[in-house]
Amino acid sequence: MKLNVTTLEAGKAGDVELNEAIFGLEPRRDLLHRMVRYQLAKRQSGTHKTKGRSEIRGTTAKMFRQKGTGRARHGNKKVPQFRGGGKAFGPVVRSHAIDLPKKVRALALRHALSAKVQAEELIVLDAASLKEPKTAALLASFEKLGLTNALIIDGKEVDGNFALASRNIVGVDVLPVQGINVYDILRRDKLVLTKAALQELEARFA
């Protein structure tokens, strides 16, 4: 499968052969859904917490005599039904992460890449680098390429000027190839891969 390579100025820079094992799969929505759930659950902080009756400070002396008052029998003011008492079945500090096999995660990434190819939302860039960190110049380049909502993946390291110029552009994310993930691929309209990123991905899945 061949795809045209473009420059930042929307010029032609030849073409590139895409690996069918990475970019030519039939996307499975169930795999993508499992992977997105895995990512979103893993990033939850899980620090919400309420105090139970065992953690509330208060007396355990019996409030009033057992019989003859016409009221329910109580022996502790820290119970949940009283104001200031402990919360019954409240949230506790915990991890929300769920398990997903490493092979399934790798397969989901390939399916996400294939989904972008199938939807014609993949752009291969010759290089993501700038001589000066100018946001206005980069915005002009993005307009030529038709990029308003995109995830840009570079090689092992992102060019410093490119990173500085793009960080204030709304709707554009720039990541090194190590940071590529299913959730960010799917949440952006376009996926932009540099030739360096393509080489790293092919080496990763070889």
Q: Where are the domains of the chain?
A: 2-44+99-204, 50-90
CATH architecture of 2-44+99-204: 3-Layer(aba) Sandwich (3.40)
- DSSP for 12-52 reads EEEEEEPPHHHHSS---HHHHHHHHHHHHHHT---------
Quote the distance between the C-alpha of residue 180 and its chain's center. Answer: 9
Write down the pLDDT at residue 190: 95
Instruction: Give, for all 206 residues of the chain, the pLDDT tens digit.
Output: 888 999 998 888 889 999 999 999 999 999 999 999 999 999 999 999 999 999 999 888 898 999 999 999 988 889 999 999 999 999 999 999 999 999 999 999 999 999 999 999 999 999 999 999 999 999 999 999 999 999 999 999 999 999 999 999 999 999 999 999 999 999 999 999 999 999 999 999 98
- This prediction has a pTM of 0.84
Provide the 10 A C-beta neighbour count for residue 86: 18
Which token pair is 160? 């410093």
Beta 190-194 vs 150-153: how paired, if at all? parallel
For residue 136, the one-letter residue type is A
C-alpha 2/C-alpha 16 separation (Å) is 6
